């Protein structure tokens, strides 16, 4: 704009000068004027264009005001000291202590990036819960509550465009109902085939079974702030009094195993330490009597009716626990089914008085994803956290070498076994299914299937999962049924490969650390556009992370306000108010 005004002024001055020369009678000059004018204009344009470009670049550079978020000090106990936009395409993460799983963590969907302006305009809640704005291959067109989410291909995507123009995400809690949709051809892909239907899918030439390699665990949880679960002997009696092998044999598909540890053994250091208790109902009843409950007690078993790889047919499994508790321990437990969102909120915040069935599917291939999330000092879901567990985990989480960290994980796993905050039950085998005609169908071991890679051979892809999302602001969600739809829209700095937990650049072209892995410098991808037309830059990264990690941030609102992944995976929220 400035260069345009400059050229206008020069033109006016030149015309005035020409008129002055004509008025003075300079005939020869008048004849030569056109040539002189062309030459002057061409010369001035040549001189003015570089100046205009430099001026525009200078204006753009001045317009970028780098943002940052920081803790007052590292005394708050968390891993992140500050996150700073150095320039338009450089972000620096300063850590209070090393984190060998840094790249694996930042590739996880809750750490996705949305426009800083959009976060501010929504106040970190409201519209952002239902219509995220990302940089992904699909954008949300409409969420019809109770029915479906409709996505449209984002034609401005920086990477390979989505194959199908439209993607429709639907849900059904019943495995049989999902399979019927697939067999009828009204769905292209379904999640979590019921164990009893594996053989039927494999025998059908029109379908393909897609086994999942995602490590997972089902656990029977208790909250130690409620009686009698505040008694360690009671918790140990329950650990011995559940026949976990019977549950696996009767309700899980082939390939499932009893959980000897909370973390599956495919995760390094997951199975360091002593194995879990053997089933011993006599010893369990004696221990329960010694704790003051010779006749058992009355309580509840809470669950949500959502089929997961770690918990197939949840209602049937809940009744099995009810039966075993009564027969083996004299405990009378009422089975209570809860709405999914309410169940997650109540259970993860430690407000359920009784047993509850919950599980975990690995988000990234590191033991911190299982242990640090569930047993950190910040997590209230099992009641009062145990320092015997979380202090060892804090120390181990800063050590990159697996062998050096192993003794600490031995101590942590042994403390989990001794203190019994929960009972690990099973590591479930599971599989999705798709039409045989669906091109590129796959199940990644970490993260969710990317709809953009699936080729239905038509304009619309229909994908059916187990339940409706809780919200689409996954900065403040932990549920897989929410994370999957978010991942189609919002991208992270790094991503996981489709066939492993290895990380690859996404919105960042590179993130490199200093020698002790306490400073990570991320170079961002240029030329990326959000779905609203705004341009991606370093401030969007800072704003997205600040809304999650900074408890004092005005946009730290979300859906539940818990921001659990930010809190548990980074050892706490910065600038949290004192209790």
Q: What is the pLDDT of residues 279-321, one digit of tens each?
A: 999 999 999 999 999 999 999 999 999 999 999 989 999 999 9
**Amino acid 326: pLDDT:** 98
Rounded percentage of the chain residues whose pLDDT exceeds 70: 89
In the structure, what pLDDT confidence band is assigned to residue 16 with cuts at 50, 70 and 90?
very low
Same domain, 180 and 306: no
* pLDDT tens for each residue of 177-200: 999 999 999 999 999 999 999 999
* pLDDT tens for each residue of 517-570: 999 999 999 999 999 999 999 999 999 999 999 999 999 999 999 999 999 999
- Least confident interval from 24-28, 268-272, 402-406: 24-28
pTM of the entire predicted model: 0.85
Residue 235 lies in a domain: yes
**Is it the case that residue 58 has pLDDT exceeding 90?**
no
Same domain, 225 and 369: yes
Same domain, 406 and 283: yes
Residue 117 lies in a domain: yes
Residue 488 lies in a domain: yes
Residue 454 lies in a domain: yes
Same domain, 232 and 322: yes
Under DSSP, the state recorded for 529 is B
| Helices vs strands, H then E, count in the chain | 17, 20
**Is it the case that residue 12 has pLDDT exceeding 90?**
no
**Amino acid 559: pLDDT:** 96
**Average pLDDT over the chain, rounded to an integer:** 91
Under DSSP, the state recorded for 35 is H
**Is it the case that residue 11 has pLDDT exceeding 60?**
no
Same domain, 296 and 404: yes
* pLDDT tens for each residue of 325-360: 999 999 999 999 999 999 999 999 999 999 999 999
**Is it the case that residue 60 has pLDDT exceeding 70?**
no
* pLDDT tens for each residue of 451-473: 999 999 999 999 999 999 999 99
Q: Where a domain ends, among 402, 427, 452?
A: 427
Q: C-alpha distances in angstroms, 240 versus 235, 283, 418, 422? A: 9, 7, 12, 12
Q: How far apart are CA 18 and CA 330, in angstroms?
A: 108
Same domain, 378 and 245: yes
Under DSSP, the state recorded for 470 is S
Please name which of 492, 340, 564, 532 lies closest in space to residue 556, comparing C-alpha atoms. 564
Please name which of 501, 564, 504 lies closest in space to residue 214, comparing C-alpha atoms. 501
* pLDDT tens for each residue of 346-401: 999 999 999 999 999 999 999 999 999 999 999 999 999 999 999 999 999 999 99
**Amino acid 578: pLDDT:** 85
In the structure, what pLDDT confidence band is assigned to residue 27 with cuts at 50, 70 and 90?
very low
Same domain, 457 and 393: no
**Is it the case that residue 491 has pLDDT exceeding 80?**
yes
**Amino acid 50: pLDDT:** 54
Residue 578 lies in a domain: no
Q: Where a domain ends, among 427, 451, 472?
A: 427
CATH number for the domain harbouring residue 380: 3.10.105.10
**Amino acid 48: pLDDT:** 54
Q: How far apart are CA 140 and CA 97, in angstroms?
A: 38
The arithmetic mean of pLDDT across residues 1-28, rounded, is 37
**Amino acid 352: pLDDT:** 98
For residues 564, 569, 575, 578, the Cα torsion angle rounded to the nearest 10 degrees is 70
**Amino acid 51: pLDDT:** 53
**Amino acid 55: pLDDT:** 53
Helix (H, G, I), strand (E, B) or coil at 242: coil
Same domain, 59 and 72: no
Number of domains in the chain: 3
Residue 196 lies in a domain: no
Buried (b) or exposed (e) across 426-456, using 16+ Cβ within 10 A?
bbbbbbbbbbeebeebebbbbbbbbbbbbbb
Residue 487 lies in a domain: yes
The arithmetic mean of pLDDT across residues 242-271, rounded, is 97
Residue 357 lies in a domain: yes
**Amino acid 63: pLDDT:** 83
Same domain, 451 and 328: no
**Amino acid 23: pLDDT:** 40
**Amino acid 38: pLDDT:** 46
* pLDDT tens for each residue of 497-519: 999 999 999 999 999 999 999 99
**Amino acid 52: pLDDT:** 53
Supply the range of the domain harboring residue 12: 2-63
Same domain, 109 and 136: yes
* pLDDT tens for each residue of 474-489: 999 999 999 999 999 9
Q: Where a domain ends, among 63, 93, 114?
A: 63
Q: How far apart are CA 293 and CA 286, in angstroms?
A: 9
In the structure, what pLDDT confidence band is assigned to residue 53 with cuts at 50, 70 and 90?
low
* pLDDT tens for each residue of 218-244: 999 999 999 999 999 999 999 999 999
In Å, the largest CA–CA distance within the chain is 122
Q: What is the CA radius of gyration of the chain?
A: 30
Same domain, 148 and 56: no
Same domain, 143 and 230: no
């Amino acid at each position: 704009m400035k260069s345009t005004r400059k050229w206008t002024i020069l033109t006016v001055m030149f015309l005035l000068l020409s008129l002055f020369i004509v008025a003075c009678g300079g005939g020869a000059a008048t004849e030569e004027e056109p040539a002189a004018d062309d030459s002057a204009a061409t010369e001035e344009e040549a001189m003015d264009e570089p100046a205009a470009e430099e001026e525009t670049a200078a204006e753009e550079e001045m317009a970028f005001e780098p943002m940052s978020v920081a803790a007052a000090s590292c005394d708050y106990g968390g891993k992140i000291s500050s996150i700073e936009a150095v320039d338009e395409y450089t972000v620096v993460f300063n850590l209070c202590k090393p984190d060998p799983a840094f790249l694996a963590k930042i590739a996880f969907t809750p750490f996705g990036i949305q426009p800083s302006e959009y976060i501010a305009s929504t106040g970190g809640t409201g519209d952002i819960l239902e219509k995220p704005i990302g940089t992904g291959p699909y954008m949300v067109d409409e969420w019809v509550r109770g029915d479906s989410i409709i996505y449209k291909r984002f034609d401005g995507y920086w990477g390979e465009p989505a194959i199908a123009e439209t993607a429709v995400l639907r849900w059904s809690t019943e495995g049989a109902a999902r399979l019927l949709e697939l067999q009828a051809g009204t769905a292209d892909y379904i999640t979590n085939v019921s164990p009893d239907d594996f053989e039927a899918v494999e025998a059908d030439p029109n379908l393909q079974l897609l086994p999942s390699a995602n490590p997972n665990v089902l656990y029977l949880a208790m909250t130690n702030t409620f009686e009698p679960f505040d008694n360690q002997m009671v918790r140990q009696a329950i650990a011995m009094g559940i026949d976990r092998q019977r549950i696996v044999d009767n309700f899980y598909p082939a390939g499932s195993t009893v959980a000897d540890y909370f973390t599956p053994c495919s995760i390094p250091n997951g199975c360091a330490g002593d194995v879990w208790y053997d089933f011993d109902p006599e010893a369990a009843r004696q221990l329960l009597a010694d704790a003051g409950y010779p006749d058992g007690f009355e309580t509840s078993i809470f669950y949500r009716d959502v089929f997961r790889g770690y918990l197939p047919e949840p209602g049937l499994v809940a009744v099995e626990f009810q039966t075993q508790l009564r027969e083996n321990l004299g405990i009378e437990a009422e089975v209570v089914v809860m709405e999914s969102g309410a169940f997650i909120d109540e259970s993860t915040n430690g407000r359920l008085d009784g047993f509850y069935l919950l599980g975990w599917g690995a988000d990234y291939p590191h033991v911190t994803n299982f242990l640090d999330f569930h047993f950190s000092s910040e997590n209230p879901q099992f009641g009062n956290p145990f320092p015997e567990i979380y202090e060892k985990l804090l120390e181990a989480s800063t050590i990159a070498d697996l062998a050096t960290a192993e003794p600490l994980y031995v101590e942590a796993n042994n403390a989990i076994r001794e203190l019994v905050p929960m009972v690990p039950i099973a590591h479930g085998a599971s599989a999705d299914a798709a039409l045989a005609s669906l091109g590129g169908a796959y199940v990644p071991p970490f993260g969710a299937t990317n709809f953009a890679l699936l080729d239905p051979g038509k304009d619309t892809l229909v994908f059916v999962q187990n339940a409706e999302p809780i919200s689409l602001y996954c900065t403040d969600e932990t549920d897989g049924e929410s994370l999957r739809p978010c991942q189609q829209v919002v991208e992270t700095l790094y991503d996981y490969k489709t066939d492993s937990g290895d990380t690859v650049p996404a919105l960042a072209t590179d993130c490199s650390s200093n020698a002790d892995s306490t400073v990570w410098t991320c170079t961002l991808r240029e030329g990326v556009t959000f779905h609203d037309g705004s341009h991606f830059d370093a401030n969007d990264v800072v704003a997205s992370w600040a809304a999650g990690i900074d408890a004092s941030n005005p946009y730290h609102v979300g859906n539940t306000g818990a921001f659990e992944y930010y809190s548990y995976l980074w050892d706490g929220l910065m600038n949290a108010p004192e209790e």
